[in-house]
Each structure stands twice: as structure tokens, then as C-alpha cells.
Amino acid sequence: MATFKDFRNNVKPNWCPGCGDFSVQAAIQRAAANVGLEPENLAVISGIGCSGRISGYINSYGFHGIHGRALPIAQGVKMANRELTVIASGGDGDGFAIGMGHTVHAIRRNIDITYIVMDNQIYGLTKGQTSPRSAAGFKTKSTPEGSIEQAISPMELALTAGATFVAQSFSTDLKDLTALIEAGIKHKGFSFINVFSPCVTYNKVNTYDWFKENLTKLSDIEGYDPSNREMAMQTLMKHNGLVTGLIYQDKERKSYQELVPGYKETPLAHAELQLDEEQFDKLVAEFM
Amino acid sequence: MINQLSWKVGGQQGEGIESTGEIFSIALNRLGYYLYGYRHFSSRIKGGHTNNKIRVSTTQVRSISDDLDILVAFDQETIDVNYKELNDDGIIIADAKFIPKQPEDTKAVLYAVPFTDIATELGTSLMKNMVAIGATSAILDLDITVFEEVVQEIFGRKGRQVVEKNMQAIRTGFDFMKKKLGNIQKLQLEKADGKKRMFMIGNDAIALGALAGGCRFMAAYPITPASEIMEYLIKKLPAMGGTVIQTEDEIAAVTMAIGANYGGVRAITASAGPGLSLKMEAIGLSGITETPLVIIDTQRGGPSTGLPTKQEQSDLMAMIYGTHGEIPKIVIAPSTVEEAFYDTAEALNLAEEYQCPVIVLSDLQLSLGKQTVEPLEIDKVEIRRGKLITEKLPEIENKGYFKRYEVTEDGISPRVIPGMKNGIHHVTGVEHDETGKPSEAAENRIVQMSKRLRKIENIKFKTPVHKNVPHEEADLLIVGFISTRGAIEEAMARLEKDGIKTNHAHIRLIHPFPTDEMMPLVKSAKKIVVVENNATGQLANILKMNVGHAEKITKLLKFDGNPFLPHEIHTKCKELF
Ligand SMILES: Cc1ncc(C[n+]2csc(CCOP(=O)(O)OP(=O)(O)O)c2C)c(N)n1
Ligand code: SF4
Ligand SMILES: [Mg+2]
């Protein structure tokens, strides 16, 4: 059985020292080992950004695609081979700006993959512009007078889009984050995990200390019930989205794969490609 | 007796014009006639003039005809818009209800037939198209029992009474017209051979070709004139374990198809110009990551929303060069429905063999034109997966990566799919080394870029140019691509009769350009006419770029949204001599 070390490769990440993304990488590696995966059975698909580099730092199959499109690529991979564990990941700009359309639709489609966003409230790779997660008033290179747009609330948005698994974490909480990723992988359907992953270079507001001060653990809220969607929404609103833990899970709804008519149990990637004469004649006859 | 006939039915969109044409042509196809139907429609669902022109022949036809023998009109607009096409002994049969007016400057005869009244009397005015079919059959002296089977198939679900009523409408229309005609029988059709042949649109053939070629997944976003491909596959793929996902947009469609191909399934996407514009960045991703990808582009009038329901061939340059940066890409252009089937299946092979995007370039006329097709043979479809590794791989030490981008002589590297033990490697749209790890090193860049571009240098494609070259030295070479083939063939026959020695080359492998095949044809012709449905002469420009001889080349362009008619090509070519 593989251990988390087997999911390490010998590529040295080019993230800045102290970047939140290191812990996300470690958590994915641990979670993969903990759920009993072998490296070849995991595919990590990522977008473009500092965070997007993550697929190159894990010893598994990996596809580093184009900005904002990790989710459709990942869904394609899963449709091709349902036996693979597929993790999509990227930044807040990747998932909530250029790729927002895909995020909403991946949520409602509910294909059985796990989506991990490294949310640093800024564009890291392009050196510090505003992101859809930047708070109003946030000053960046592209908003020198402070952002005048409202920040997106990804967790609330996920709930309204029909999500079946919604969780949030903080990159320093390695244990909690690992457990959430494990739960996400095991969840039958689309699991969405937003991770506060500080950018130490370009975001001087939403720092490690800032998060420590402002985050509330759901496990500390008495009577919190992640199967209650209404409670989930109210709690998010009350805390301005700054909570960590499993926010909502619907264990009843079937995943996309389970609902596709005729979709084979064996991976499509191993399907027979040749049509036999009889099959073909039947198809042809319909046009006569 | 005539062996060829041109029939058109027209009216307001949403009035059953389509089904009139459909029933008429299915029945004639079953009698063994060769059909070619082209629909003139707009992007409105209801209202607006629409017509369906159908050519019936005892031999294969691949073009709309210049003229018209019978015009069935459900409103005056249909007469006004279309009567000029009618032959001198043409016939207009029009619904008496709208009191049709005979146009003055035509020798064609108008018969007013109470389509609506007869239908209403029989139960519902909806059956007026059946009355029209009956009237047409009388003119052609067809045995109307041939419609029984078709009507049964279409209305069978609605019960025997509905079937019987519809047949009665056909019979009444037939009898009414017979009486009117007396013993005039100008347009008696020669008997057809009675052979059963397929009757389909190009998009049906593309979709069927995809199935035959092993496509088991499709991701697409609806658009005219491509939607039929996804609609067909969603009906058929579940029986083969596969499926179609209607995505949120074309970027999702193409990237999902890339993901699926990377995952090891043969996956396609299809769209028209607006969708292809959105897919451009992803096409580059397929190129640099060497992930197989098949995209169908059913061209329509551009730019932007352009002429969404009209014929055009203006995506050519965009398909060859579209995406930033430089990648290996294959663009093929079937010129008949039969080729659309084989080429789509072959595109799936090429994509895996050359590990690059393959674009199947169709156009609205080929994609939506409905025609009789010669038998398609599944034995002629091979499945070739190139350098895909399926057997066990040797252990790799020290967590080294599999050399997915190994530099080889032909540029093509061994490929594994996720799930394979010892095959782990990285894939990225960033320039990378042999194992897929990002690398900006100048030397590596040159090696990897050259390796990728080298792959398609010696591409093997069975018929890069469809040639009809009776002359070693020709007065004229006509060059075209995709659906202009039929019109060019007919124009060529007329030019030959005029004594102009004519050769015809239809380019099927657009990129990489078949220069070696085209050069001798170009050299041995005195003049060259390139026929294309666009405003700038994109194919002509590509021809000039690859084979030169610009001084010989004349562009014959049509970009009003309508397909070429044979006489237009004939006249323009003749003017050159
Ligand atoms: C189509 C396209 N537009 C713009 C870019 C430039 N770009 C690369 S990453 C990025 C944003 C990165 O921010 P985020 O997704 O939050 O990732 P982070 O670097 O913060 O992890 C941008 C705008 C690109 N690569 N592609
Ligand atoms: S710029 Fe910010 S997000 Fe990017 S690696 Fe450095 S710390 Fe991380
Ligand atoms: Mg960011």
C-alpha cells in the first residue's frame, strides 16, 4: 500500500517560501494515501496560476491545462475512466473569475470528482491584481484606490447551485484539511473544498494571522448539522463565509455517473472500439 | 419521360414545409431514386419564408439544380420568391385558399388546388401538406401506395385513424390533380432501380462515422448547423456504454473532450464558427500537450453570428492557423456525405496516431443537405491507435517519470493513459521536457517544438485530393473543397461539351497542404478557377501560397449565403475563354 511519501515526486515547487499552497499539496498527498490510492490511480488536473502548478508536484498522473478550465478537463478525464480518482484544483481567479461558468455547472452536474481551490484573495502568478475574492476596498496593482466590486461567496454560491459536498479549510490546519479531502474523495458526487491559502508575497491583508483571528471552526458551533442546507446557508451568512469544516453534504443524491443512461461500469477508456457488422447494419437501416 | 426532376415546396416556417419535403423524399428514395435536398431556412422557429428544394434523379446527384420543374406553394411569397427558377414547362401548384396569382413573366402554369379546404374537410387543415404530396404525385404519375409505408412510420404512433386520414388526404389531392390535368402528362418520371439506399444529411454521416471510428464520448454545445451530430450520438452512445454531455459552453466542450481523450477514450466535439472561435485556446493545449482531439466544424455564414442558417466556407484560414503559437494540426475536408462518414472515422485514427488536434471541416450545405448515399461499408473502417501503449511497462526507478514526450525520429512519442502503472508523467501546456516537466531552456524548446511540428510532415492520408483529371494538359483546372463538389462536376461536364478541356481537383487534406499532389495539376493547366463560398478567396490564397502560379488563378467567390449552382460556375469559367 502506498504511503504519502509515494505521492511525492522529485520536483521542487517554485512557490515562495511560506506560500499556503505547500500545505494543500501535502494534504492531498496524505489524503490520497489515507484512502488507499496508488499513485497511478490518481489524476490531478489543475488550472493556471501559482496554485495551478500543484499537479506537477504530486507523484500521480497530472494535467496542467489552461487558465480557468481545470474543471471541464477533469470531468472529461473522469468520464473516460470512472475508476480513476480525479482531483481538480486551481486558484480563486482560475475558479471564480475566468472559470466561474464551469464551477457552477460542475457543481450542478455532480460528476464524482473533488475540486480544491487555493483561495488567496489575489492573483499571485500575475503578480498581485484583484481577484473576485478580494474584499471591497482591497488595494492591488489593478485597484490602486481599492476594489469597488463585491467579493464572491463561493460557499453560498455552491449551496444555491445544488452542491452535494461543500467544505472550507485553512491551509495550516493540515489535519482538518486532509480529513476533508479524504471525505471529498469518498463522497459520491462533486465535492468542493475551498481552502484559504495565503499569498505571503502579494496579499498583506489576508495573512495567516488575519485568518487565525477571523475564522470560526464549524466543530465549535454547537449543534451544527452539515446535512441541513438551510442551517449551512444561515451560518455562512452570519460568519461572512469565514468558517472552516464540512459545511454541507447531501449523501442521498446520486452522482452524474450513476444517472447516465447506459453508462458502463467498466471504464470507457477500455471500451471496444470496433462496431460489429450486425450493430452497423442496424444503424444503417434506420436511414433507409 | 424524364430522368431528373427538381421539386420545391415553400411556405411560412413552422407550417409543415419540412415534413412535406421529408415525406416526399423518403418515399422517392425508397423507390430507388437518388435525392438531393437543400433547405432554405432562417433562424426563426415560426414565420419567415422557408423552402425545401429536392432534386430527384435516376443517377447520383450532389448539387442543387439550376432550375425547377414543380413549385408547391403554400403562400404567395413562395411563388414570388421562387417562380423565376421554373422551367418553361414548369408547374406551380398552389393552395387555392390564398387565391394565388400567376406571375406574368413565366411560361410555367399555375394550378390552384384547395390544399387547405380538402384537408379541413377530411378532419384537420394540418394535412394540407399531404394533399400537396398527392397533387405532386399526380403530376409525376407516381403510384401513391408508396406513401403508405412512410405515413405509417410517421403517424403510426397516433393510431390507425390518423394514418388512414393522412393517406386519404394524399389520395384526394392525387385525384383532384389528375382531374385537372386531364391527359396532359408532361413530367412523367422514368422508373428507378428500386434499390434500398440510405438517405441522410452530412451530419448523420459524421455522427455515424464517429461511432464507427470508436468515438464513445462527446462534449458539445448546441449550434446550427452542428447540433444534429450531438443529437444523434446521444441516442446511440448509451447502447455502447458511452454518452454525450451538453456543456455550459464551447470552451467546456473542447476541454472536456481533451480531458476525455487524455483519459483514454475516443472523444469528439462539434460546433460551428462561433464555437470554434471559443475553442481556439484549447486547440493549442491539445497541440502542445499532444493530446488527441477531433473537432468537427460545420461552417456557416460568419463573422460573429453572421448568417447562422446559411452556407459559407469562411472558417478555412481560422481552422488552419487558429490558436496562438505554432502547433501540428490536421485539417481534413470531406466533399461528399460518404466521405464525411469515412473521414470522421479516420480523423479519430489520425488524432491518436499523430497525437494532435484534427479538424473535420464541413459546411452547412454538406452538413444539412439531405441526400441518397451509396452503401457505407464498416469493413473499410479501421481502428488504429498509433503509439498507444497497452502492455505492461517496466519499473521506473527513483520516481522518474515516463518519457511521454520522448524525442523520436518521426516526432511521435509513446503514449500511455492514466491508470497505467509505471506510466506516470506530467502533462502541461507550459513548454516541457521529455517527461512533461516544465522547462524554459532554449535548447529543450527547440527540440520539443521541432519534434511536435515534425509529426505531421509526412502525414499519410489516403486521398488528399479528389481528382477528376481526364486531361494531361488542360485548358482549365477547377479547384474546390467540401460541398461545392457536385456543382463543379456538373459545370465541368458542360464545359467539356463546350470544348474546354477541364480538370477538377477537390482538396480533401487541407492541412498540411498536399503540395506534391496539386503541383502537377496546377502546372499542366492553362487557367485555374478556385470555387469557394467566401468573400476573400481563402482556398485560392492557400493554393497560391503553396504552389504559386498566382497568374493563372482566378477566384470564383460566392458569399451571399447560398450554395453555388452549376450554371454559375459554368458561366463564369466559360467567360475566361
Ligand atoms: C486566458 C488567460 N488569461 C490570462 C492569463 C494570465 N493569468 C495567469 S494566472 C492568472 C490569475 C492567477 O490567479 P489565481 O487563479 O487566483 O491563481 P494564484 O496565482 O493566485 O494561485 C492570470 C490572470 C492566462 N494564463 N490565460
Ligand atoms: S506569489 Fe503568492 S501565491 Fe504565488 S507562490 Fe508566492 S506566495 Fe504563493
Ligand atoms: Mg489567487
Grade residue A13 by pLDDT with cuts at 50, 70 and 90: very high
**Which of A6-10, B395-399, B524-528 has the weakest average pLDDT?**
B395-399
Domain membership of residue A164 (yes or no) is yes
Over range B406-413, report the average pLDDT. Answer: 98
d(CA A78, CA B25): 43
Residues B230 and B149 in one domain: no
pLDDT tens readout for residues A179-211: 999 999 999 999 999 999 999 999 999 999 999
Taking the whole predicted model, whether its pTM rises above 0.80 is answered as yes
For residue B48, what pLDDT is reported?
86
**Cross-chain residue pair B426–A45, CB shorter than 8 Å:** no
Residues B529 and B490 in one domain: yes
A225–chain B nearest CA distance, Å: 32
Interface size, chain A vs chain B, as Cβ–Cβ contacts under 8 Å: 206
Complex ipTM > 0.95:
yes
d(CA A81, CA A58): 20
- Please state the atom number of ligand 1 nearest to the C-alpha of residue B281: 1
For residue B103, what pLDDT is reported?
92
Identify the closest residue of chain B to A43 by CA–CA distance. Answer: B418
Residues B301 and B374 in one domain: yes
Residues B165 and B228 in one domain: no
For residue B397, what pLDDT is reported?
83
> Does the pLDDT at position B19 exceed 90?
no
Distance from the alpha carbon of residue A9 to the mean position of ligand 1, in angstroms: 25
Over range B518-543, report the average pLDDT. Answer: 98
Nearest to A31 by CA among A248, A213, A221, A185: A185
> Does the pLDDT at position B357 exceed 80?
yes
Residues B497 and B366 in one domain: no
- Cross-chain CB nearest to B255 (options A62, A73, A280): A73
Contacts B437 to A, Cβ<8 Å: 11, 56
**Which of A6-15, B147-156, B509-518 has the weakest average pLDDT?**
B147-156
Domain membership of residue A271 (yes or no) is no
Residues B17 and B159 in one domain: yes
Grade residue B183 by pLDDT with cuts at 50, 70 and 90: confident
Express the helix, strand and coil content of chain A in percent, nearest 5 each.
Answer: 40, 15, 45
User: Number of structural domains, chain A?
Assistant: 1
What CATH number is associated with residue B523? Answer: 3.40.50.920
Provide the terminal-to-terminal Cα distance of chain B, rounded to the nearest Å. 35
Domain membership of residue A268 (yes or no) is no
User: Number of structural domains, chain B?
Assistant: 3
A275 and chain B: CB distance < 8 Å anywhere? yes
For residue B398, what pLDDT is reported?
81
Mean pLDDT of chain B: 96
**Chain A 241-260, CB below 8 Å of chain B: which residues?**
260
Question: What would the grid cell of residue B247 be?
Answer: 456543456
Q: Pick from B380, B411, B446: which residue ends a domain?
A: B380
Q: Ligand 2 test: best mutation among A120, A141, A208, most atoms within 8 Å of CB?
A: A120
Residues B480 and B495 in one domain: yes
Residues B112 and B214 in one domain: no
Residues B52 and B192 in one domain: yes
Distance from the alpha carbon of residue A50 to the mean position of ligand 3, in angstroms: 8
Domain membership of residue A278 (yes or no) is no
Over range B96-106, report the average pLDDT. Answer: 94
For residue B185, what pLDDT is reported?
74
Domain membership of residue B140 (yes or no) is yes
For residue B54, what pLDDT is reported?
96
Over range B427-436, report the average pLDDT. Answer: 98
Measure the CA dihedral A219/A225/A226/A227, to 10°. 160
pLDDT tens readout for residues B305-352: 999 999 999 999 999 999 999 999 999 999 999 999 999 999 999 999
Residues B207 and B189 in one domain: no
Mean pLDDT of chain A: 97
Distance from the alpha carbon of residue A117 to the mean position of ligand 1, in angstroms: 13
For residue B14, what pLDDT is reported?
83
Domain membership of residue B390 (yes or no) is no
C-alpha to C-alpha distances, B447 to A126, B450, B453, B455, B457, nearest whole angstrom: 28, 5, 10, 13, 16
Domain membership of residue A284 (yes or no) is no
Other beta carbons within 10 angstroms of residue A7's beta carbon come to 25
Contacts A80 to B, Cβ<8 Å: 217, 259-265, 267
C-alpha to C-alpha distances, B393 to A84, B309, B388, B396, nearest whole angstrom: 19, 51, 12, 9
Look up the domain containing B485 and give its range.
465-575
> Does the pLDDT at position B46 exceed 80?
no
Q: What are phi and psi of A183, to 5 degrees?
A: -60, -40
d(CA B557, CA B546): 20
Q: Pick from B178, B196, B214: which residue ends a domain?
A: B196
As a whole-number percent, the residues of chain A with pLDDT over 70 amount to: 100
Residue minimizing CA distance to atom 8 of ligand 2: A19
B224–chain A nearest CA distance, Å: 21
**Cross-chain residue pair A79–B241, CB shorter than 8 Å:** no
What CATH number is associated with residue A248? Answer: 3.40.50.970
Q: Pick from B346, B380, B414: which residue ends a domain?
A: B380
Distance from the alpha carbon of residue B107 to the mean position of ligand 3, in angstroms: 74
What CATH number is associated with residue B172? Answer: 3.40.920.10
Domain membership of residue A112 (yes or no) is yes
- Strand partners for B476: B502, B527
Report long-range pairs for B275-278 (Cβ below 8 Å, ≥24 apart): B275/B221, B275/B223, B275/B226, B275/B250, B276/B250, B276/B315, B276/B318, B276/B319, B276/B322, B277/B318, B277/B322, B278/B249, B278/B250, B278/B251, B278/B254
Domain membership of residue A73 (yes or no) is yes
Residues B209 and B125 in one domain: no
For residue B129, what pLDDT is reported?
93
- Cross-chain CB nearest to B376 (options A56, A76, A284): A284
pLDDT tens readout for residues B189-214: 899 999 999 999 999 999 999 999 99
Domain membership of residue A45 (yes or no) is yes
Look up the domain containing A40 and give its range.
4-261
Contacts B237 to A, Cβ<8 Å: 262
**Cross-chain residue pair A64–B267, CB shorter than 8 Å:** no
**Cross-chain residue pair A80–B217, CB shorter than 8 Å:** yes
Contacts B260 to A, Cβ<8 Å: 76-77, 79-80, 268
d(CA A207, CA B192): 82
- Cross-chain CB nearest to B427 (options A63, A84, A105): A63
- Please state the atom number of ligand 2 nearest to the C-alpha of residue A118: 3
